[in-house]
Amino acid sequence: MKRKPSTEATAAWIRLMRVQSRVLDCVEQDLKKAGFPPLAWYDALLELSRAPSGELRPVELERQMLIPQYSTSRLIDRLVDEGLASRRECKIDKRGQFVEITEAGRELQKRMWSAYSAAIEKYVGSKLSDADAVKLSGLLDRLGCSCGEMKLPPAANVNESTPPR
Amino acid sequence: MKRKPSTEATAAWIRLMRVQSRVLDCVEQDLKKAGFPPLAWYDALLELSRAPSGELRPVELERQMLIPQYSTSRLIDRLVDEGLASRRECKIDKRGQFVEITEAGRELQKRMWSAYSAAIEKYVGSKLSDADAVKLSGLLDRLGCSCGEMKLPPAANVNESTPPR
DNA sequence: TCAAGATTGATGCAGGTGCATCGAGTGGGG
DNA sequence: CCCCACTCGATGCACCTGCATCAATCTTGA
């Protein structure tokens, strides 16, 4: 008799939870040991640096990063405190504001990418052939119902220092 | 020229992070909406209920669940506060103790499994064929270097109410 | 034009987590 | 036998998160 979640599905669920938390932990540790702030800071800086003029509305950032509103608000606080971003008022909508990445922010993002990319290679790239990485992505995407687009860099002359998204 | 982490590996990393957090979030929300405590409580109760006489040393629990020591300590505090487990002193090692699941704890674990298994089916099982679930598990395992054994239920007459691990 | 509702962003509070450290207890070598 | 190193578990602190809610502003529709 078939059980509702098959043992196969249940096993996959457990792996997904365990492996992700383990791998994320390893990467975060490497970053921290190199003296860098948490990954969330990198993600935010990357989004900002990619924005047309280096600035975004908090609500945009929130949608890009898929984190709750209050979380965005406080993350911006910390970035601003550290001089990595600055707030600008929004003339056309006085409720809102713009958050603009600073030069220091851009620089930190670049420096983090070298440690970050090394960690990705160490904990993911080196464990999987490119073909397997593609298979894994495909299987994961099937779970990520309505998970958003997730465009990669425009595939231009990316050669080094190419940040992920 | 090859970049250090290939785009394929980077894409897989991003999916892994995003999909896991999304799926975990959905499952936790379903549990919470059904009035249940967090998944970590379920994991702990399951480990305890599986132990030979329904009790474990905190240090064992810690190793099974792969969470830090202080986290285990406080999780046990909460289970005890809610009457789901109780602490017993350990005669043979007076530093240590035993944590024993109570009847209420066993019952909660069983009730949670029905909501939990439904959520797994909803967010994982229904999205993937069994064969694909196996492929996904296999790929994830390759990342989980030294991630521990992760034995599934002894494959006895499991028919319903079979908890995962 | 104006009131009702939606949207933007901040924040008080409760609770969870990581880090460092502590005290108690064990066990092995001199 | 005793001391030192180690293990076990708890806890103070800082920080982070989720939740609810707030004030300010914008938008819509009668």
User: Could you list the pLDDT tens digit for every one of the 165 residues in chain A?
Assistant: 666 778 999 999 999 999 999 999 999 999 998 999 999 999 999 999 999 888 999 999 999 999 999 999 999 999 999 999 999 988 888 888 999 999 999 999 999 999 999 999 999 999 999 999 999 999 999 997 543 333 223 222 333 444 544
Tally of residues, chain A: 165
- Cα B99–chain centre separation: 18
Residues 6+ apart with CB under 8 A from A64: A47, A56
Predicted confidence at residue A101, as pLDDT, reads: 95
Q: How far is CA A139 from CA A44, A63, A163, B78, B135, in A?
A: 27, 24, 23, 37, 8
What residues in A contact B2, CB-CB < 8 Å? none
In this complex, the residue of B117, B133, B143 whose CB is nearest that of residue A11 is B133
Q: Diameter of chain A by CA atoms?
A: 64
Predicted confidence at residue A28, as pLDDT, reads: 92
Q: What is the mean pLDDT of residues B106-111?
A: 94
Beta-carbon contacts below 8 Å between A and B: 205
Residues linked to residue A56 through DSSP beta bridges, in sequence order: A99
- Interatomic separation, CA of residue B95 and C1' of nucleotide C22, rounded (Å): 14
In this complex, the residue of A135, A150, A152 whose CB is nearest that of residue B139 is A135
Predicted confidence at residue A102, as pLDDT, reads: 94
Predicted confidence at residue A6, as pLDDT, reads: 87
Question: What would the DSSP string read from start to end of B18-86?
Answer: HHHHHHHHHHHHHHHHTT---HHHHHHHHHHHHSTTSEE-HHHHHHHHT--HHHHHHHHHHHHHTTSEE
Which helix (H) or strand (E) covers residue B98, if one does? strand B97-101
| Three-class DSSP category at B87 | strand
Query: Radius of gyration (Cα) for chain B, nearest Å?
Result: 18
Find the nucleotide nearest B21 (Cα to C1′): D17
**Is the full-model pTM beyond 0.75?**
yes
Which letter does DSSP use for residue A54 in this model? Answer: S
Q: How far is CA B24 from CA A105, B29, B105, B165, in A?
A: 31, 8, 23, 15
CA nearest to B163 within chain A: A10
CA nearest to A139 within chain B: B136
Predicted confidence at residue B78, as pLDDT, reads: 94
Q: B59-93 pLDDT, tens per residue? A: 999 999 999 999 999 999 999 999 999 999 888 88
Kindly tell me if the per-residue pLDDT of B3 is higher than 90. no
In this complex, the residue of B4, B16, B23 whose CB is nearest that of residue A118 is B4
What residues in B contact A20, CB-CB < 8 Å? 16-17, 20-21
User: Is A24 close to B17, i.e. CB distance below 8 A?
Assistant: yes
What residues in B contact A7, CB-CB < 8 Å? 152
- Interatomic separation, CA of residue B52 and C1' of nucleotide D1, rounded (Å): 39
Confidence of residue B145 (pLDDT cuts 50, 70, 90): low
Task: State the number of CA atoms in the 13 A half-sphere of B34 facing the CB.
Answer: 19
| Three-class DSSP category at A28 | helix
Q: What is the mean pLDDT of residues B129-151?
A: 77
What residues in A contact B133, CB-CB < 8 Å? 6, 8-9, 11-12
- Cα B92–chain centre separation: 29
Predicted confidence at residue A4, as pLDDT, reads: 74
Name the amino acid, one letter, at B62. E
Task: For residue A124, give both structure tokens.
Answer: 């993911």
Task: Give the long-range contacts of residues A6-9, CB within 8 A, separation 24 or more.
Answer: A6/B125, A6/B130, A6/B133, A7/B152, A8/B130, A8/B131, A8/B133, A8/B134, A8/B137, A9/B120, A9/B121, A9/B124, A9/B125, A9/B128, A9/B130, A9/B133
- Interatomic separation, CA of residue A78 and C1' of nucleotide D14, rounded (Å): 15
